[in-house]
């Protein structure tokens, strides 16, 4: 259940950042958005694993 909620939260974050990148297509913003999503994906992968 926790992993499903984490995946939903990541999808919402990715959707928000995606809309932001589409509306404001700045190279710096795209780089920061990719870094943010990468760090969130890493955190999701490492913290929601089985114990």
pLDDT tens-place string over residues 1-51? 788 999 999 999 999 999 999 999 999 999 999 999 999 999 999 988 766
Nearest to 50 by CA among 5, 3, 9: 3
Q: Look at residue 19 and give its three-state secondary structure.
A: helix
The model carries a pTM of 0.84
Full domain range(s) for residue 29:
13-47
Nearest to 33 by CA among 9, 8, 13: 13
Whether 20 is in a domain gets the answer yes
How many CA atoms does the CB half-sphere of 8 hold within 13 Å? 5
Whether 8 is in a domain gets the answer no
Whether 40 is in a domain gets the answer yes
Number of folded domains in the chain? 1
Whether 18 is in a domain gets the answer yes
Whether 24 is in a domain gets the answer yes
Rg (CA), the chain: 12
């Amino acid at each position: 259940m926790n992993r499903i909620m984490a995946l939903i939260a990541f999808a919402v974050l990715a959707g928000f950042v995606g809309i932001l990148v589409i509306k404001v297509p700045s190279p710096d913003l795209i780089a920061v958005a990719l870094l943010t999503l990468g760090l969130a994906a890493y955190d999701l992968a490492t913290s929601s694993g089985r114990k």
